[in-house]
Amino acid sequence: MKQKTIYTCQQCGYQSPKWLGKCPDCQKWNTLAEEAIVLTRGKGRSPVPAGKPQRLHEVAGTEEDRIRCGIAEFDRVLGGGVVPGSFALIGGDPGIGKSTLLLQSIARLAESAPALYVTAEESTRQVKLRAERLGVAAKDLFLLAETSLEAILERVRELGPGFLVVDSIQTIFTSALESAPGSVSQVRECAGRLMQVAKGDGIPTFIVGHVTKDGSIAGPRMLEHMVDTVLYFEGDAGHPYRILRAVKNRFGSTNEIGVFEMKESGLAEVANPSELFLAERPEGAAGSAVVSSLEGSRPILVELQALVSGSSFGTPRRTTIGIDHNRVSLLVAVLEKKVGLSLLSQDVFLNVAGGVRLDEPAADLGVIAALASSHLNRPLPPRTIVFGEVGLAGEVRAVSRPELRINEAARLGFDRCLLPAGNLKNLEPPPGIALVGVRSAEEALEGMFE
Ligand code: TYD
Ligand code: MG
């Protein structure tokens, strides 16, 4: 008899005909679950492909087809607006504001074409109450409380909406599969079928995905490969700021960010994030340095805070928030070996203020400055900004787009900028800001504490 079930890893989607304790693909234990095999694909499909080769210039669609929702922070992260037929996944911790963000943006989009918001987690009444709080009153926004994929697709066919939101992909299910909603095969199948509709009918679709404890979108990694755009909505429950980050975008640059503030009346755009992130900076305090970081096409000034203190244990601690731990350990070693600060026996804590995450090597010089300032207990000059990549030999390397970073600093009243000497070529700084090119970490510290 033919086998009717298969074991699927609920972490990565790996499949095996027999049960295994450990997934050979992602190495996780106890993740394989038994699921029924379905033959919805392949069989019964027309073998004749419909596509025909086209000349590049004959292909329909231009950059102008993008639809802006009018929330500039959201449009920018999408690459300049919503692309017809695009399929986007929005992930984030529970309660971070995914439903709020999508309700606010879909209501704006519903002004140009009818939109359908499928709420598979909350009742339509709950969504309406939220909409009232947000002051959203779009005439052509339709709500549907439904968890069955077949029913959803049927309603989409009837209504023919211009935009579709499914909140969330883990709570809907197809009757073609026996496994529970949220399991890998359900998520994969539902997303696949929704995507066919999005692409086939050109309906821009947003799906919400929950995030597991380790921070990735629950369900197969495959989901991220399938969709056009993956956005993460991040933030700290303790801070009102939320950052929308594109980690994958077939229609724009990745690492674009949108900054929002969660208020009583929903999410408000933050057009000047630098001002916000620097608002509570303690001027004249040792251990605080401001870096000019580039997030996508946008420069943002953020404060780095370091605390270096004598360790009471044999192994000193290295704790970082908002910045890569290994990168900081490396920079501590550079300070020790190349600059001669003795940090190896010290506990080091480093925090990026405001709940921001810095992934750019250009922040290296800021880390060096904050660490040295705390260690020497000497504050940095308050109106000085730094950026630059630091190598293992202690050399300071040029970074991309220095002019953008300097302009943002000048706009916010900084009057001195330490930057890689290699970045000075052909630079025309705005008036009021003095540029100091440095070649090594040591030179940078001399320049800072002069
Ligand atoms: P929600 O959009 O439901 O989060 P998610 O869909 O990601 O789970 O947002 C829930 C949180 O947002 C909740 O803790 C309350 C807060 N919130 C506000 O502060 N102001 C508002 O206007 C709304 C709608 C929510
Ligand atoms: Mg929600």
Instruction: For residue range 281-304, list pLDDT tens digits in order.
Output: 888 889 999 999 988 778 899 999
Q: How many domains in the chain?
A: 3
Average pLDDT on 131-149 reads: 92
278 vs 155: which has the higher pLDDT: 155
1 vs 358: which has the higher pLDDT: 358
Contact 235, 243 (CB under 8 A): yes
Give the C-alpha distances (Å, rounded to integers) separating 313 from 124, 202, 336, 343, 450: 56, 61, 19, 14, 34
Collect all residues with Cβ–Cβ distance below 8 Å to 426 and sequence separation of at least 6: none
Q: What residue has token string 């009102």?
A: 240
pLDDT of residue 2: 64
Least confident range of 39-43, 153-157, 405-409, 411-415: 39-43
Average pLDDT on 366-380 reads: 95
Measuring from atom 12 of ligand 1, which residue has the nearest CA? 97
Please spell the DSSP secondary structure of 280-337, one letter per residue: T--TT-TTEEEEEEEETTEEEEEEEEEEEEE-SSSS--EEEESB-HHHHHHHHHHIII
pLDDT of residue 140: 92
179 within domain boundaries: yes
9 vs 399: which has the higher pLDDT: 399
Measure the CA–CA gap between 25 and 27, rounded to whole angstroms.
6
Please tell me the distance between residue 185's alpha carbon and the centre of ligand 2 in angstroms.
Answer: 22
Please tell me the distance between residue 428's alpha carbon and the centre of ligand 1 in angstroms.
Answer: 45
Average predicted confidence (pLDDT) for the chain: 88
Same domain, 70 and 91: yes
**Could you give the 3-state DSSP secondary structure of residue 74?**
helix
pLDDT of residue 111: 92
Contact 350, 367 (CB under 8 A): yes
Same domain, 141 and 231: yes
Measure the CA–CA gap between 446 and 427, rounded to whole angstroms.
23
Measure the CA–CA gap between 400 and 419, rounded to whole angstroms.
11
Measuring from atom 10 of ligand 1, which residue has the nearest CA? 95
pLDDT of residue 108: 93
Cβ(130) – ligand 1 distance below 6 Å: yes
Query: The domain that contains 320 carries what CATH number?
Result: 3.30.230.10
52 within domain boundaries: no
Least confident range of 90-104, 171-185, 325-339: 171-185
104 within domain boundaries: yes
Cβ(134) – ligand 1 distance below 6 Å: yes
Range of the domain at 283: 276-448
Please tell me the distance between residue 97's alpha carbon and the centre of ligand 2 in angstroms.
Answer: 7
Query: The domain that contains 199 carries what CATH number?
Result: 3.40.50.300
Cβ(95) – ligand 1 distance below 6 Å: yes
Contact 338, 444 (CB under 8 A): no
Give the C-alpha distances (Å, rounded to integers) separating 265 from 34, 123, 131: 45, 20, 10
370 within domain boundaries: yes
75 within domain boundaries: yes
Same domain, 263 and 290: no
pLDDT band at 5 (very low <50, low <70, confident <90, very high): confident
Cα–Cα nearest to 116, from 133, 134, 102, 101: 102
Measure the CA–CA gap between 223 and 80, rounded to whole angstroms.
23
Cα–Cα nearest to 89, from 200, 194, 228: 228
Burial of residue 52 (CB within 10 Å: 0-12, 13-18, 19+) is exposed
User: What percent of the chain has a predicted confidence (pLDDT) above 70?
Assistant: 94
Measure the CA–CA gap between 171 and 148, rounded to whole angstroms.
9
324 vs 4: which has the higher pLDDT: 324
Same domain, 95 and 221: yes
What is the sign, positive or negative, of the torsion defined by CA atoms of 91, 95, 98, 101? negative
Same domain, 439 and 292: yes
Measure the CA–CA gap between 142 and 160, rounded to whole angstroms.
11
Same domain, 92 and 231: yes
Cβ(235) – ligand 1 distance below 6 Å: no
pLDDT digits (tens, 9 = 90+) for 196-227: 998 989 999 999 988 766 555 555 567 888 89
Cβ(86) – ligand 1 distance below 6 Å: no
pLDDT of residue 44: 47
Q: What atom in ligand 1 is closest to the CA of residue 96?
A: 7
Same domain, 378 and 314: yes
Measure the CA–CA gap between 4 and 310, rounded to whole angstroms.
63
pLDDT of residue 355: 77
Same domain, 263 and 296: no
Please tell me the distance between residue 280's alpha carbon and the centre of ligand 1 in angstroms.
Answer: 25
212 within domain boundaries: yes
pLDDT of residue 42: 47
Same domain, 267 and 280: no
Structure tokens at 106: 């879909």
Least confident range of 47-51, 241-245, 311-315, 339-343: 47-51
Measure the CA–CA gap between 375 and 369, rounded to whole angstroms.
10
Same domain, 219 and 84: yes
Same domain, 203 and 281: no
For residue 358, what are the β-bridge partners?
A: 323
pLDDT of residue 127: 94
318 within domain boundaries: yes
Structure tokens at 378: 């000497």
Please, what's the b/e burial string for 31-48 (b: 16 or more CB within 10 A of its CB; e: otherwise)? Answer: bbbebeeeeeeeeeeeee
Please tell me the distance between residue 130's alpha carbon and the centre of ligand 1 in angstroms.
Answer: 9
Measuring from atom 8 of ligand 1, which residue has the nearest CA? 95
pLDDT band at 43 (very low <50, low <70, confident <90, very high): very low
439 vs 355: which has the higher pLDDT: 439
Same domain, 302 and 405: yes
59 within domain boundaries: no
